Chains A and B, each alone.
Chain A
Amino acid sequence: MVPPVPSGRSVLRTAVREQRGKVAVGALLGSGHQIGEALVPVLIGVVIDQAVTDSDTGALVVWLGVLAVGYVGLALSFRFGAWTGDLAATRAEHKLRVTLVERVVAPGGGTERGRLPGALVNIATEDAKRVGVSIMALMIGTSALMGLLTCAVVLLSTSVTLGLVVLLGTPVLLWLGHLLSKPLEARSGAEQERAAHASAVAADLVAGLRILKGIGGEPTAVTRYRTTSRESLQATLRAARAQAFQNGTVLALTGCLIAAAALVGGRLAADGSITLGQLVSAVGLALFLLGPLQTLAWVNAELAQGRASAARIADVLATPPAVPSVDDSGSALPGPAEPVHGALRLTGVRHGGLDALDLTVAPGELLGVAATDPAHAADLIRCLARGSDPEDGTVELDGVPLSDLDPAALRTHLLVAEHDADLFEGTVHSNVTAAANGASDPGPAMAAAGVTEVLRTLPDGAASAVSERGRSLSGGQRQRVALARALAAERPVLVLHDPTTAVDAVTESEVAAGIRELRAGRTTVVVTTSPALLSVADRVALLVDGRVTDTGTHSELVGRHEVYRSAVLS
């Protein structure tokens, strides 16, 4: 559906095309409604003319009947037109949102680079909604044009002079109003932004409440907030005054237009060119006309915003993946050959701070990697997780370079559990079993990761709720649940990055033993400087300046290597 490199225009066009049936029906019915609305003042004029002036009961009944029919027509077309329009808008919005999320979580990744999660979420909500509203605006614009056209026809057929006064006067009035308010609008936009600042600062202070209380900073914060709030108030008041002035101006100009229509219409009626009822209709239409014209201005602004939103959406969809899932010729890459033995080999890897790193992990080995620089550890993790491929050198699984493998298929065999892995909303159980295929019992994984102990303090055990990103748990609890999830996934190869930094020393030792037992016989790499974890590893590789300078058991390295001692024990 989505073209290879989507642009803002194509996103918008696709969205409209997918909903074209509804868009057409919405525009048609909306037009019917607007025409009906335009005819109401006309009919009032006709009733005055035909029935009230001549006291004609028959005419009154007939024309009230016509008015009733008109009302039913406009009410029904509004009812179904708006319904269809909204349906088209919300469906388009929903579809874009899902497409965006599919792209963000796609195995190739890449969309997070340079974008904060909040910004991406905003694109998936606000921008998707804007595109939906643009579709709505398209329909509303069409309807407004039809209403405008009806007005023009009625007015011009009544009297060319009066018609021209009203048809030309209305846009001139709106233009004048726009001209008068333009400098104000520009200012008020900036000032409203400053006004919003006060709320943002308040939210920020409340978010940091515990920190403030911890250091007794509340009085300072309160005083400072008062200043912010007052400054913000001054800005808001300036904006509000500008707004009030604008409202007053538009009102005065509208009154002047009515006066002009009354003057011209009254003179025409006085010399008999038009009837009294037509005079009444003309004045009514002059007032009505403002509606569609303002609507068109709104539609215009909305479409401009919709285009900008569509461009942002297209930008995300067009982001190239960080790691490819196709080879140079465009055919899909294969997954690793099964069964996976779990032999990892890094040869001459240069990436970030890694300097021609060579490292071999034997199948079934539990290897500890202690890096003196945390940045190097992160670089290593990135290469193994295929967040990106190394700048130089190769990482091989069972002798096949990772870059020749499909990233999604690779991850079903090699799991890299990052230090800052997120938990998801749900329960402890749903988090732990998220990636555990089939009905394997998460019990051993939970026990090994020390989650069993966490469960004792939670209200509902494994069924206890976990709020978004695990915020309802403490840091240590979060880490243990994340570790249990990684263990429960039972991948042939598991890479853990600093899995126990927020866990107390007692528990950490137990967890280290648990990992060793549970992963026995399967390749496991633990990148950490925690002595508790390193002491259970078969072998520890010391990473200094981006290369392996020594390997041995924890006690051996503690015994012979000063750099290791200071990196791990000091």
Chain B
Amino acid sequence: MTRPVASEEADRPERDPRTASQSPATPGTEEEMPESGAPQARQPEGERELLPTATGAQTWAAVRELVRPRRGLALAGFVAMVVATAIGLLIQPLLGRIVDLVAEQRPPDALTLPVVLLVVVAVAQGGATALGLSLVSHLGEGVLARLRERFVANALRLPLGQVEKAGAGDLTARVTRDVSMVGEAVRSALPELARSVLAIVLTLAAMAALDWRFLLAALIAVPIQAHTARWYVRRAVPLYAQQRIATGAQQQQLLDTVAGSGTVRAFRIEEQHTELVTRRSSTAVGLTMRGVRLVLDFYNRLHVAEYAGLAAVLVTGFLLVRSDSVSIGTATAAALYFHSLFTPVNQALVLLDDAQSANASLARIVGVTSARPAPGEPAEHRRTEGTEATGGTVPRIEVDEHADAPGVTVTVSGLDHAYEPGRPVLHDVDLTLHPGELVALVGPSGAGKTTLAKLVAGVHRPTAGTVRLTGGGSASSGPPVALITQETHVFAGPLEDDLRLARADATDEELRAALATVESLDWALALPDGLSTVVGEGGHRLTAAQVQQLALARLVLADPPVAVLDEATAEAGSTGARLLEKAAQRAVGGRTALVVAHRLTQAASADRVVVMEEGRIVQSGTHAELCAAPGPYADLWEAWSGAR
């Protein structure tokens, strides 16, 4: 099969396996973590439990399941590709026929028929190839789209605790690097590989059809090629893994230094950082050159195989022509067949590597699409109708017929929690949040405030004790408890779409009302396109305070009976924080709310203040009560209000 590709692909960088396997650094995805990334310190447990990776069998089962509804398409694509390749193989015998006609000294007009046939073959081959490639890409892209939809659906369904244990980078890396790796493979590597393999198999068959001895001669190259491929893959896989890590580390260092350049200058650590970048870049360059060397050695070996095979085929042709077993034309066709094998063989061997990386990526994706909640984590509980439940304990609102007020009561009793056995964070915490009550949690860091907030929000399953939600029935369809943390994100797209994530069917009026509640309507309407302004990655940039207000507006729209706010005002600077506090207070109005307070003013305006120390509640009461009584809260407030 003749392919319009340069005869030696190695010196064309876009064909080069090392550029193909280096995942391009995705600009803007700051989350990308190296595989050997630093241990995550966010969780006290330290160790990371990566999300599951599918076994080979599971991966194949998943692929089969995705292909099954499209098997007609798969069959049609395969047949078209075989036909296209087979037609292409008629070229060499036709050329051989022309050589024979000349050798037999036929009149020149006798050449017309084979030449016309050559044109017919060319057009038919082109048509069949176009059809085959189109069908194959239809199949591949369809499967890929389905796969990424499942990935997103399942990733969003994973329990938060499990994702946090794995580190946010794991999931992000899978959805960016792995999905693009598989996409790349589906788009280019797999069709090319299929074409090459078909070309090789059918060409060898055609050589056998000319004379079986040509096949034997051609096969002389195979052991060398097979050995070379094994030799290459064995070295390439770990080397490219190292390269990816080094490239990731370089990328991270650059981002660290460039994004923090103001800090670098302020602290006069410019040289230190230039040095770090130089070192990381040198490592990456060194590994790239090791990769280059490997590829070059690989091609050197293939050159040996090429020569051995070509010489063998020529010698065979020579012997067969001498013994009158075949014509000169047939010998020519055999030599041309073998020469035309160079490209697909090199291609196939190079693509093996891509195929392997794609397979590894696929296993990581399938690992998530078929993931089940890990033991010890609460199953997904914020399910609305239409999504299947997976069991487990779910903080649901228990209907309490005797409830005299609307709203939900949160009863925390005997709560103990330890992220690791032997290192308890909470001890026997009892706390009741009455319907509509705003309770502020105050205490030094490490006192367990965030842990308590997370347990109330249902992120983790407590080691001991219970969190119960009870209310007067008629629970809304949304989640019973909403949690807002200091982690912020603006979803890329129009602002109104971002808000509607909290309530899909919200009217424009409702959106405006929610924004007005958190005092954000003015700036939102002043955006270039108002609520239709594209925000988030690549869109209009919102300030840190605006982003938090947006989070509060989503809370208003989601309208949960219980709200938990943790560090929601942290990043905005002190004056911005005060605006946010007011917005937060309005957002939780009427809900049963637990707020981790950083500023005492936040506590002062709450219905009740709960002071925690070392995993225990040490004080509880209104701001006035606590100020009046001697204790840690009163001391704090005195310092704040300048009363000492």
* Chain B positions within 8 Å of A367 at CB level: none
The distance in angstroms between the C-alpha atoms of A64 and B261, with both chains bound, is 63
A367-402 interface bits toward B, Cβ cutoff 8 Å, 1 = contact, 0 = none: 000011110010000000101000000000000000
Can you give 11 A-B contacts (C-beta < 8 A)? A57-B318, A64-B314, A64-B315, A79-B300, A94-B282, A136-B13, A248-B130, A457-B446, A459-B45, A466-B38, A474-B450
Stretch at the interface among A12-20, A211-219, A336-344, A358-366: A211-219
* Chain B positions within 8 Å of A48 at CB level: 317, 328, 331-332, 335
- The minimal Cβ–Cβ distance linking B287 to chain A, given in whole angstroms, is 10
A303-314 interface bits toward B, Cβ cutoff 8 Å, 1 = contact, 0 = none: 000000000000
Query: A101 touching B300 by the CB < 8 A rule?
Result: no
Query: B570 touching A502 by the CB < 8 A rule?
Result: yes
5 additional A-B pairs beyond A219-B387, A558-B641, beta carbons within 8 Å, are: A126-B25, A211-B488, A244-B133, A412-B268, A557-B642
Query: A52 touching B321 by the CB < 8 A rule?
Result: yes
Query: A225 touching B149 by the CB < 8 A rule?
Result: yes
A459-486 interface bits toward B, Cβ cutoff 8 Å, 1 = contact, 0 = none: 1100011111100111111000000010
Query: B267 touching A199 by the CB < 8 A rule?
Result: no
Query: B478 touching A216 by the CB < 8 A rule?
Result: yes
The distance in angstroms between the C-alpha atoms of A82 and B576, with both chains bound, is 58
Number of interface residues of B (CB under 8 A): 206
- The minimal Cβ–Cβ distance linking B121 to chain A, given in whole angstroms, is 6
* Chain A positions within 8 Å of B2 at CB level: 254-255, 258, 287
- The minimal Cβ–Cβ distance linking B635 to chain A, given in whole angstroms, is 8
The reply on A518 being an interface residue by CB < 8 A is: no
A81 to B, closest residue via Cβ? B11
- The minimal Cβ–Cβ distance linking B495 to chain A, given in whole angstroms, is 14
The distance in angstroms between the C-alpha atoms of A198 and B45, with both chains bound, is 35
Query: A266 touching B101 by the CB < 8 A rule?
Result: yes
Query: B103 touching A418 by the CB < 8 A rule?
Result: no
Query: A117 touching B122 by the CB < 8 A rule?
Result: no
The reply on A505 being an interface residue by CB < 8 A is: yes
The distance in angstroms between the C-alpha atoms of A555 and B8, with both chains bound, is 81
- The minimal Cβ–Cβ distance linking A190 to chain B, given in whole angstroms, is 16
Identify which of A216, A387, A504 contacts B479 (C-beta below 8 A). A216
Query: B130 touching A213 by the CB < 8 A rule?
Result: no
- The minimal Cβ–Cβ distance linking A335 to chain B, given in whole angstroms, is 12
Interface residues of B in 314-361 (CB under 8 A from A): 314-315, 317-318, 321-322, 328, 331-332, 335-336, 339-340
The reply on B394 being an interface residue by CB < 8 A is: no
Query: A459 touching B254 by the CB < 8 A rule?
Result: no
Stretch at the interface among B56-64, B156-164, B226-234, B396-404: B156-164
* Chain A positions within 8 Å of B223 at CB level: none
Stretch at the interface among A156-164, A348-356, A440-448, A524-532: A524-532
Tell which of A201, A213, A295, A559 has the most Cβ of chain B within 10 Å.
A213
Query: A215 touching B567 by the CB < 8 A rule?
Result: no
Query: A37 touching B386 by the CB < 8 A rule?
Result: no
- The minimal Cβ–Cβ distance linking B518 to chain A, given in whole angstroms, is 13
* Chain A positions within 8 Å of B483 at CB level: 213-214
B557 to A, closest residue via Cβ? A215
A246 to B, closest residue via Cβ? B130
The distance in angstroms between the C-alpha atoms of A435 and B601, with both chains bound, is 35
B505 to A, closest residue via Cβ? A220
Query: A94 touching B642 by the CB < 8 A rule?
Result: no
Identify which of B141, B322, B642 contacts A558 (C-beta below 8 A). B642
* Chain A positions within 8 Å of B278 at CB level: 98
The distance in angstroms between the C-alpha atoms of A118 and B541, with both chains bound, is 14
Interface residues of A in 193-216 (CB under 8 A from B): 198-216
- The minimal Cβ–Cβ distance linking A25 to chain B, given in whole angstroms, is 14
Query: A93 touching B285 by the CB < 8 A rule?
Result: yes
Identify which of A270, A279, A489, A555 contacts B107 (C-beta below 8 A). A270
The reply on B129 being an interface residue by CB < 8 A is: yes
The distance in angstroms between the C-alpha atoms of A206 and B321, with both chains bound, is 67
B441 to A, closest residue via Cβ? A504
The reply on A22 being an interface residue by CB < 8 A is: no
Query: A251 touching B328 by the CB < 8 A rule?
Result: no
The distance in angstroms between the C-alpha atoms of A553 and B574, with both chains bound, is 19
Interface residues of B in 442-501 (CB under 8 A from A): 442-446, 449-450, 457, 478-479, 482-493, 497, 500-501
B6 to A, closest residue via Cβ? A291
Query: B335 touching A270 by the CB < 8 A rule?
Result: no
Query: B152 touching A202 by the CB < 8 A rule?
Result: yes
The distance in angstroms between the C-alpha atoms of A418 and B25, with both chains bound, is 29
* Chain B positions within 8 Å of A460 at CB level: 46
B450 to A, closest residue via Cβ? A474
The reply on A541 being an interface residue by CB < 8 A is: no
Query: B250 touching A411 by the CB < 8 A rule?
Result: no
- The minimal Cβ–Cβ distance linking B120 to chain A, given in whole angstroms, is 9
The reply on A563 being an interface residue by CB < 8 A is: no
* Chain B positions within 8 Å of A501 at CB level: 570-574, 577, 598
Query: 3 tightest CB-CB pairs across the interface, nearest first?
Result: A255-B122, A252-B126, A248-B130
* Chain A positions within 8 Å of B304 at CB level: 75
Query: A244 touching B130 by the CB < 8 A rule?
Result: yes
B75-103 interface bits toward A, Cβ cutoff 8 Å, 1 = contact, 0 = none: 00000000000001001001100110111
* Chain B positions within 8 Å of A505 at CB level: 442, 597-600, 603, 636, 640
Interface residues of A in 271-298 (CB under 8 A from B): 271, 276, 279-280, 283-284, 287-288, 290-292, 294-295, 298
Interface residues of A in 128-174 (CB under 8 A from B): 133, 136-137, 140, 143
Query: B307 touching A71 by the CB < 8 A rule?
Result: yes
The distance in angstroms between the C-alpha atoms of A409 and B30, with both chains bound, is 32
The reply on B427 being an interface residue by CB < 8 A is: no
The reply on A229 being an interface residue by CB < 8 A is: yes
A417 and B266 in contact (CB under 8 A), knowing A55-B318, A258-B91, A270-B106?
Answer: yes
A459 and B41 in contact (CB under 8 A), knowing A122-B27, A245-B134?
Answer: yes
Query: A509 touching B636 by the CB < 8 A rule?
Result: yes
* Chain B positions within 8 Å of A30 at CB level: 11
Interface residues of B in 148-184 (CB under 8 A from A): 148-149, 151-153, 155-157, 160, 163, 168, 171-172, 175-176, 179-180, 183
- The minimal Cβ–Cβ distance linking A174 to chain B, given in whole angstroms, is 9
* Chain B positions within 8 Å of A377 at CB level: 573, 575
The distance in angstroms between the C-alpha atoms of A33 and B7, with both chains bound, is 11
B270-300 interface bits toward A, Cβ cutoff 8 Å, 1 = contact, 0 = none: 1011100110011001001100110011011
* Chain A positions within 8 Å of B486 at CB level: 474-475, 502
Query: B102 touching A276 by the CB < 8 A rule?
Result: yes
Identify which of A82, A230, A412 contacts B145 (C-beta below 8 A). A230
